[in-house]
Structure 1
Amino acid sequence: MVIFLIRLLIFLGSAALGLWVASLLLDDFHLTTSGFLAAVVVFTVAQAVLSPFIAKMAARYAGAFLGGIGLVSTFVALLIASAVTGGLTIDGGAATWIAAVVIVWLVTALATWLLPLLFLRRRLEERRAGGPRPA
């Protein structure tokens, strides 16, 4: 159960980071303070549900697209989060959407890989040393 909660926090944190970075880099990508949490939660849930489904569909019908599953699921999750919440709006055209997908995908991928290393480093060090270390 603890591992599940840690993974959930990592996914939420990486989504928050990805959306925030995209809002900083793209003029037509807007996050409201009041709707940020809702946008993060909706994006994270959509991404978690869509990724395996899209991967299964691609494997069955279009194997060549398997490498782009993360980008496709990020696009669909952004679409859902912008449609469902008032906290995320993407006003620009196709170029803004493409840039947003790439930025959010890249940041969330890196954060999902790096955040566990940062937060679980102490736990790993404790295990290697044979027990908890003094504070």
Structure 2
Amino acid sequence: MKTRLLRVLVYLASAAAGLVLADLFVGGFRISWLDWWGFLVAIVVFAIVQSLATPLATRVAEKHAPLLLGGIGIIATFVSLLVVAVLPSAGVRITTAAAWFLAPLVVWIVSAIVTWVLTVVLIDRRARTAPPTKS
């Protein structure tokens, strides 16, 4: 149960990191920082939509377009950003065509790296140091 909770926290942290860095580096991508609740909603909605969109997109690509399998992560990130940007309470706005192209790329790369690092540091290290369980 602790590992599952850690995985959820890692996923939320990676979503937050991706959104923050997109806000910092992508023109036309803006987070409303005055409304911290909206940013929290954006993180949670983004993480939920991405966790649902990734397996769905994988199944569709396997069946109809196997060549898209390598881009599933970026596709799921784009869909998640689309949902968050349309949601009025999320506090995220994407206003330019360039931002629609660059923001998913930045969020996808950052969230993948943060997920990998935090998983290694928090979950894998914990699993290696845990005492063996009896079978």
Q: TM-score, normalised by structure 1?
A: 0.87
The one-character-per-residue Cα deviations of 1:67-126 (angstroms, maximum 9, x if unpaired) are: 000010000000001111341000111x21111010000001111111122234763563
Aligned CA distance change for structure 1 residues 53 and 2 (closer, same or farther; 3 Å): same
Does 2:22 align with 1:15?
A: no
Structure 2 Cα separation of the partners of residues 30 and 6 of structure 1: 28
Could you tell me which residue of structure 2 aligns to residue 45 of structure 1? 48
Give 1:10 shift: 0.4
What's the % identity of the aligned pairs? 38
Q: Which of 89, 92, 95 is 2:96 aligned to?
A: 92
Q: Which runs of 4+ in 1 moved over 3 A?
A: 124-127
Could you tell me which residue of structure 2 aligns to residue 117 of structure 1? 120
Structure 2 Cα separation of the partners of residues 122 and 78 of structure 1: 31
SS at match of 2:102: helix
Q: Which of 65, 69, 75 is 2:68 aligned to?
A: 65
Q: Which of 102, 105, 109 is 2:105 aligned to?
A: 102
Structure 2 Cα separation of the partners of residues 58 and 122 of structure 1: 34
Structure 2 Cα separation of the partners of residues 123 and 57 of structure 1: 35
Ranges in structure 2 where 5+ consecutive residues have no aligned partner: none
Ranges in structure 1 where 5+ consecutive residues have no aligned partner: none
SS at match of 1:27: coil
Could you tell me which residue of structure 2 aligns to residue 24 of structure 1? 24
